Amino acid sequence: MTRRDEIIKQAGLLFSLKGYSAVSMRDIAKAVDIKAASLYNHLPSKQAILEAIVLNLANTFVNHIHDVNQNPSFSTRQKLSEIIQQHIDLSLQQPESVAVLNTEWIHLNGEALDKFKAKRFTYEQELREIIKNGIQEQSITKRDPEVILFSILSTLRTLNLWVAKRKHLTVEDLKADLETILLYGIIRQNKS
Amino acid sequence: MTRRDEIIKQAGLLFSLKGYSAVSMRDIAKAVDIKAASLYNHLPSKQAILEAIVLNLANTFVNHIHDVNQNPSFSTRQKLSEIIQQHIDLSLQQPESVAVLNTEWIHLNGEALDKFKAKRFTYEQELREIIKNGIQEQSITKRDPEVILFSILSTLRTLNLWVAKRKHLTVEDLKADLETILLYGIIRQNKS
DNA sequence: ACACAAAACTAACAATTGTTAGTTTATACA
DNA sequence: TGTATAAACTAACAATTGTTAGTTTTGTGT
């Protein structure tokens, strides 16, 4: 891991804990045990650090959902399963980056902000397509696609806030439960 | 509405748009068309503004779920329905405050931070109880209560991010769809 | 008209901010 | 060994931060 990567990683951790604006370049420097001015040997600005974190992860998400959606061997149900898996994995592997992606993107400016918004829109569009296809082929209930989209996406996007605490469950069990809850709901009908 | 209330309201709007740390007292002052120093005739500090927003709304949520949970005439299903309704209502009526509650509470300090965390824990505990009761009486599927809890709560807590855009749906239809999706899932079984 | 309080103002403070300039140290290759 | 490059350093900058002190304006009741 290069020095630049280390700085970005530490900065991501700090951003996720205190928010972009509340973290100074001196804070970041202290975390990698150098002086603030030395950061500029590796990165052009504070903004560039945020951009690297946000756009990098956004690309990972978009590329994955695109591959999934494009794969003709996947059913709607399988596509959703793959997407859930991806969110669980990334939320466990890089919870700080996910946190930054979720809440600190507002502090992006200009071109980077535009890029982020485009990526986000693309991601939502891919998932929207999967949902609409599902409704059309009658594998998904005929409810408002936007409500379905954001309802599921809200849960997946904020997995990072609680998923690390679930140590009593294996990742497999977590995935199985989450999938059941998201796809089949929680109400048990025809009881007894 | 008192001057203090107006300041808090404008500050909440700014906090929700740019984050607590990125909003200066001069920004807030400009929003109510006075000078920064004049704010201190109405409020003791910037922190106090954040405290007012966060703790006030946290209390609203906790009081409501407590009343719901305590009401013996509600079934598990009805309790969940009431809670969903409350989240929709507040997300529509005061989306900025909900946003601040969700993401800016980290910037609270000392006693106020403790109070917030206690409120949040109480809220989760009330919902946890409803879910566990539901599982016991077999009206809720026997899945990990924590996964059920945070899965639903994630969606409800972030309603503010998208619910305002759904103008093609009445609030009633939105609620009906959201309830169906959260409680009964999206997968249509036994199709055709 | 007068007094009093509420609420605005100006001016300033010490601290912190992101960033730059210029310099020294460490590393790698000829 | 000498040289070039990378990466650290010190020092400083202009701007912005939350907040305070002291003063003036505004509005209300007598």
- Domain hosting B59: range is 45-184
pLDDT higher than 90, residue B190 = no
Q: Beta carbon of A50 within 7 Å of strand C?
A: no
B39 and B49 co-located in one domain:
no
Test the B interface: residue of A20, A186, A189, A190 with most B CBs within 10 Å: A186
Q: Answer yes or no: are the C-beta atoms of A103 and B105 closer than 8 Å.
A: no
Any B CB within 8 A of A73 CB: no
Mean per-residue pLDDT of chain A: 95
pLDDT higher than 70, residue A162 = yes
Residue from B108, B7, B97 nearest B60 by CA: B97
B62 and B152 co-located in one domain:
yes
From the number of C-beta atoms within 10 Å of its C-beta (0-12, 13-18, 19+), residue A87 rates as: buried
Q: Which of A147, A157, A159 sits opposite B181 (nearest CB)?
A: A147
Whether A186 sits inside 8 A of B162 (CB atoms) is: no
Whether B169 sits inside 8 A of A103 (CB atoms) is: no
B50-59 pLDDT, tens digit each:
999 999 999 9
Q: How many domains does chain B have?
A: 2
Angle between helical axes of A46-70 and A110-136 (0-180°, round to 10): 20
In a domain, B11, yes or no: yes
In a domain, A10, yes or no: no
In a domain, A189, yes or no: no
Return the pLDDT at A29: 98
Q: Beta carbon of B37 within 7 Å of strand D?
A: yes
Residues 82-141 of chain A within 7 A of strand C, judged by CB, are: none
CA distance B171 to B163: 9
Residue from A3, A5, A9, A2 nearest A34 by CA: A3
A36-90 pLDDT, tens digit each:
999 999 999 999 999 999 999 999 999 999 999 999 999 999 999 999 999 999 9
B71 and B24 co-located in one domain:
no
Q: Please report, rounded to whole angstroms, the spatial distance between the CA atom of protein residue B105 and the C1' atom of nucleotide C13.
A: 29
CA distance B112 to B56: 11
- The set of strand D positions with any atom below 7 Å of a protein CB reads 6-12, 16-22
Q: Beta carbon of B42 within 7 Å of strand C?
A: yes
Q: Please report, rounded to whole angstroms, the spatial distance between the CA atom of protein residue B27 and the C1' atom of nucleotide D16.
A: 12
Distances (CA, A) of A7 to A15, A101, B99: 12, 17, 30
Torsion of CA A96, A101, A107, A110, to 10 degrees: 140
CA distance A53 to A55: 6
Task: List A181's β-bridge partners, or say none.
Answer: none
In a domain, A56, yes or no: yes
A5-27 pLDDT, tens digit each:
999 999 999 999 999 999 999 99
Q: Which of B106, B155, B186 sits opposite A18 (nearest CB)?
A: B106
pLDDT higher than 50, residue B30 = yes
B152 and B80 co-located in one domain:
yes
CATH value at residue B73: 1.10.357.10
In a domain, B38, yes or no: yes
B118 and B35 co-located in one domain:
no
B77 and B106 co-located in one domain:
yes
**B192 to chain A nearest CA, in Å?**
8
Return the pLDDT at A189: 67
Tokens for B38, please give them.
């004049």
Whether B139 sits inside 8 A of A188 (CB atoms) is: yes
What are the chain A neighbours of B158 within 8 Å (beta carbons)? Answer: 154, 157-158
Nearest CA in chain B to A189: B139
Q: Looking at chain B from residue 107 to 136, which residues have their Cβ under 8 Å from any Cβ of chain A?
A: 107, 131, 134
Q: Nearest residue (Cα to C1') for C17?
A: A24
In a domain, B67, yes or no: yes
Whether B151 sits inside 8 A of A185 (CB atoms) is: no
In a domain, A141, yes or no: yes
In a domain, A129, yes or no: yes
CA distance B154 to A155: 5
CATH value at residue B33: 1.10.10.60
